[in-house]
Amino acid sequence: MLSLPIYMDHHATTPVDPRVVAAMLPFFTDTFGNPSSRQHTFGWAARDAVAAARRQVADLIGADPREIHFTSGATESDNLAVRGVATAEPRRQLHVVTMTTEHHAVLDPCRRLEREGVEVGYVKPRRDGICNVADIERALRPGTRLVSVMTANNEIGVLQPIAEIAALTRPRGVLLHTDAAQAVGKVPIDVGALGVDLLSLTAHKMCGPKGIGALYVRRCRPRLAIAPLFDGGGHEQGLRSGTLNVPGIVGLGAAAAICRDELAPEARRVGALRNRLLDGLRARLDGVTVNGSPEARLPHNLNVSFDGLEGESLLVGLDDVAVSSGAACTSVNPEPSHVLRAIGVPDQLARASLRFGLGRTTTEAEVDYVIEKVSSLVTRLRELSPAAGAR
């Protein structure tokens, strides 16, 4: 039976899988020790659980467990990668390259670096949202120390050619960081094949708990120079001080193990549902534009614009469907999404955009309901919109 409201905002966060909850529960009450307590069994049990979770995360992305460093989530991991690399380097002629469509967890640290005297180059994507690798190459300078390009965009879901970018950066001695928060657990990720030096991930995008994530740091000699964001105990090989969140880490590990086992069939299932949603909308509506590459994208992502209507009423009318707008609007400053603007979507269309994020709990019945709900709403709003005459 269909249950309302319907959740289609899995890019924002995901429900925690019951199997993950079951794995975490003992570490709140029974196995509650501090993994840094080395003198008794409570600490040993926690230490072993953390080590097991570290292996599970490493196995998901093809890494060595020693390359996994636990953080509070992808935002901290992004900051640790971007600011940590830059802070560890002499500021003279230091240069960082990123893209205009990155998440603010990368863009904002880059802007902070600029205020501190670091030069940052911003590469624009093509109209399909994917970067031109030649543009990355042109942006590199003798002083470039870091390139940061996300694996999959959080709004339009496009997949970037990370391995091709790594083929440019690695021979030049330039570090490559990728924010893979939206991609890990959804598409196959192998850090060795990609050639990245640093990779950010988080649990709550793959049916794990909030407040826990990790930064992959490639092991090499000499060790990558990364300055910690804060000090106090030297945990996580000196990169992230603080008592470890053992229940969260266990949850991240359990989520990673489930994704590793079920990734391929789940990707096929949600990809088919995503296509069903798009086909259903296009069968009932004209003027439906997919934002971003229709091929190189996450299987669970659909970002579409609807022409001929005012976008402000779009989300309001979807009272029983949880989705996100393609526009990061507020009532005070209704600015369209920086991602949609960067790929050339006109402001009016950007404001009339929806991001559908399907997930592990999404069903065919929910997709069919959303098709009817959105189609009826868009039709009604177009009839009422002053923009209808321009169509």
pLDDT band at residue 92 using 50, 70 and 90 as cut-offs: low
Query: Is the pLDDT reported for residue 31 higher than 60?
Result: yes
Query: Is the pLDDT reported for residue 162 higher than 90?
Result: yes
pLDDT of residue 387: 55
- Pairing between β-strand 198-202 and β-strand 213-217 as defined by DSSP bridges: antiparallel
pLDDT of residue 330: 36
Q: List the domain boundaries for the chain.
A: 6-12+263-386, 18-258
- In angstroms, the CA 267 to CA 249 distance is 24
Q: What is the mean pLDDT of the chain?
A: 93
- In angstroms, the CA 205 to CA 213 distance is 10
pLDDT band at residue 325 using 50, 70 and 90 as cut-offs: confident
pLDDT band at residue 123 using 50, 70 and 90 as cut-offs: very high
Query: Is the pLDDT reported for residue 236 higher than 90?
Result: no
Q: Across residues 324-329, what is the average pLDDT?
A: 59
Length of the chain equals 391
Query: In the CATH scheme, what architecture does the domain 18-258 have?
Result: 3-Layer(aba) Sandwich (3.40)
Q: Residue 238 has what DSSP assignment?
A: G
Query: Is the pLDDT reported for residue 338 higher than 60?
Result: yes
Higher pLDDT, 115 or 391: 115
259 tagged catalytic: no
Contact 24, 222 (CB under 8 A): no
Q: Across residues 335-346, what is the average pLDDT?
A: 93
6-12+263-386 and 18-258 share one CATH topology? no
Q: Which of 110, 207, 220, 329 is catalytic?
A: 329
Selected from 2.40.50.840, 3.40.50.300, 3.90.1150.10, 3.20.20.60, the CATH number assigned to the domain covering 6-12+263-386 reads 3.90.1150.10
Higher pLDDT, 311 or 77: 77
Give the pLDDT confidence of 245-269 residue by residue, as tens digits: 999 999 999 999 999 999 999 999 9
**Helix, strand, coil % (nearest 5) of the chain?**
45, 15, 40
Query: Is the pLDDT reported for residue 116 higher than 60?
Result: yes
pLDDT of residue 326: 55
pLDDT of residue 336: 86
pLDDT of residue 91: 64
How crowded is residue 127: how many other Cβ atoms within 10 Å of its Cβ?
12
pLDDT of residue 391: 47
Look at 106-115, 217-226, 323-332, 345-354 and tell me which has the smallest mean pLDDT: 323-332
Q: Could you tell me the strand order of the sheet in which 324-325 lies?
A: 288-290, 301-306, 353-357, 324-325
| Both structure tokens of 55 | 């292996």
pLDDT of residue 288: 97
β-bridge mates for residue 152, sequence order: 159
